[in-house]
Amino acid sequence: MKIVVLSGGLSTERDVSFKTGERVTAALRERGHQVILLDVYMGFGEAGQSLDGIFDRTREVSVQVSDIPEVAPDLEKVKAARKDSSAVFFGPNVIELCRKADVVFMALHGENGENGRLQAAFDLFGIRYTGTGYLGSALAMDKGIAKQLFLQNGIPTPRGTVLARGQQAKDLGELDISLPCVVKPCCGGSSIGVSIARTQEELSAALAEAFRWEDTLVVEEYIEGREFSVGVISYQALPVIEIAPIEGFYDYKNKYKAGSAVETCPADLPQSVSEQMQRYAEQVARVLGLDTYSRSDFLLGKDGAVYCLEANTLPGMTPTSLLPQEAAAVGVSFGELCEKIIEISLKRYPN
């Protein structure tokens, strides 16, 4: 197959996206596909140039990827580096290249790739792509909306509320939340801008940090306990994986720096608890319409209660990512996982 692996973009997870894209590209090439790794924002070449035969020189035209830095990218520098200085999100020849492909493998992470806008645009252009469609993507990306849907459908989640810029002075007591609490951007990913506040001073700093990234935040009760994640493919849950950061919580650095966390799959849990998390992960996928693949994050409180934190519509596929580890636990190799995602995604198209 001719495949474009779409990565990069303008989200805070731009660098992570490249690592997902690099690994997916290598795996699909090993399985005999013609694969181009493309930066959706920078594009390729100049507008209007001939793309004839481009899938015969995939390595020549693909993005070259470096290691993931320990801090999020400076997006203003990224914008300034674009040669055509266009305000259009799609870089030169992106749409043209994607239309030439049999399918686009979505390796994007964060707002640009997971909020549904790109999926909606591809639907209009008639471009076939992997993963959840525009509506499920939009619902899952907004943590405030997703939390309300969880509550309405009996999926346990920490008590919380949404704050817009200008509301940060509101007393937490009015929101039925007390310290310690968690503050996070409403539509961010990779734990960027996320803080645990234990004092009023820390809360003020956490709000200021989160508002650096977005105008809307989620503030929720802090649940002390163990962290887990459950991948779901075609509404069927994979084994539960436990994530135990060596220091702090599962933040941006701990997610992508090798050796920063101990990950155990299948998780060391009573079978009844594992099955409960898996049922909730499948329910999350159905409630939000995540029909291809997804990953839901959970906490197991000290009291034994399970809490769903959020859902990810385009889970990471980097060397330290969780979904590939869960698939490997049931005998599915990384290359097989990539092809399975493509196979399931193409079923929604008529031919």
Instruction: Report the half-sphere exposure of 113 (CA within 13 A, side-chain side).
Output: 34
Distance of alpha carbon 87 from alpha carbon 96, whole angstroms: 18
Q: What are phi and psi of 223, to 5 degrees?
A: -110, 115
Q: Residue 57: inside a domain, yes or no?
A: yes
Domain that residue 186 falls in: 159-221
Q: Which of 65, 138, 54, 59 is nearest to 94 (CA)?
A: 54
Are the C-beta atoms of 36 and 22 separated by less than 8 Å? Answer: no
Are the C-beta atoms of 132 and 289 separated by less than 8 Å? Answer: yes
Q: What is the CATH number of the domain that holds 194?
A: 3.30.1490.20
Q: What is the CATH number of the domain that holds 71?
A: 3.40.50.20
The answer to whether residues 190 and 288 belong to one domain is: no
The answer to whether residues 105 and 63 belong to one domain is: yes
The answer to whether residues 322 and 290 belong to one domain is: yes
Q: Residue 149: inside a domain, yes or no?
A: no
Tell me what pLDDT residue 250 has: 44
The answer to whether residues 8 and 125 belong to one domain is: yes
Range 283-296 average pLDDT: 97
Q: Return the bridge partners of 297, or none.
A: 229, 310
The answer to whether residues 95 and 124 belong to one domain is: yes
The answer to whether residues 189 and 284 belong to one domain is: no
Distance of alpha carbon 142 from alpha carbon 89, whole angstroms: 21
Q: What is the CATH number of the domain that holds 335?
A: 3.30.470.20
- Would you say the C-alpha torsion 182, 183, 186, 190 has a positive or negative sign? negative
Q: Is the pLDDT of residue 169 over 60?
A: no
Q: Residue 69: inside a domain, yes or no?
A: yes
- Residue count of the chain: 351
Range 52-67 average pLDDT: 91
Q: Residue 146: inside a domain, yes or no?
A: no
148-152: long-range contacts, CB 8 A cutoff, minimum separation 24 = 149/287, 149/288, 150/284, 150/287, 150/308
Tell me what pLDDT residue 207 has: 87
Of the two residues 176 and 61, the one the predictor is more confident about is: 61
The answer to whether residues 237 and 342 belong to one domain is: yes
Please write the tens of the pLDDT for every residue from 14-51: 898 999 999 999 999 999 999 999 999 999 988 888 89
Are the C-beta atoms of 113 and 313 separated by less than 8 Å? Answer: no
Tell me what pLDDT residue 168 has: 55
Are the C-beta atoms of 221 and 181 separated by less than 8 Å? Answer: yes
Listed residues 85, 112, 129: the one ending a domain:
129
The answer to whether residues 100 and 189 belong to one domain is: no
Q: Residue 144: inside a domain, yes or no?
A: no
The answer to whether residues 340 and 274 belong to one domain is: yes
Q: Return the bridge partners of 1, or none.
A: none
The answer to whether residues 6 and 125 belong to one domain is: yes
Of the two residues 132 and 160, the one the predictor is more confident about is: 132
Range 156-163 average pLDDT: 90
Please write the tens of the pLDDT for every residue from 184-237: 888 765 567 888 989 888 888 888 888 888 888 889 999 999 999 999 999 999
Listed residues 187, 205, 221: the one ending a domain:
221
The answer to whether residues 18 and 125 belong to one domain is: yes
Q: Which of 126, 87, 86, 91 is nearest to 108 (CA)?
A: 91
The answer to whether residues 247 and 182 belong to one domain is: no
Residue-averaged pLDDT of the chain: 89
Listed residues 108, 129, 150: the one ending a domain:
129
As for how many domains the chain has, the answer is 3
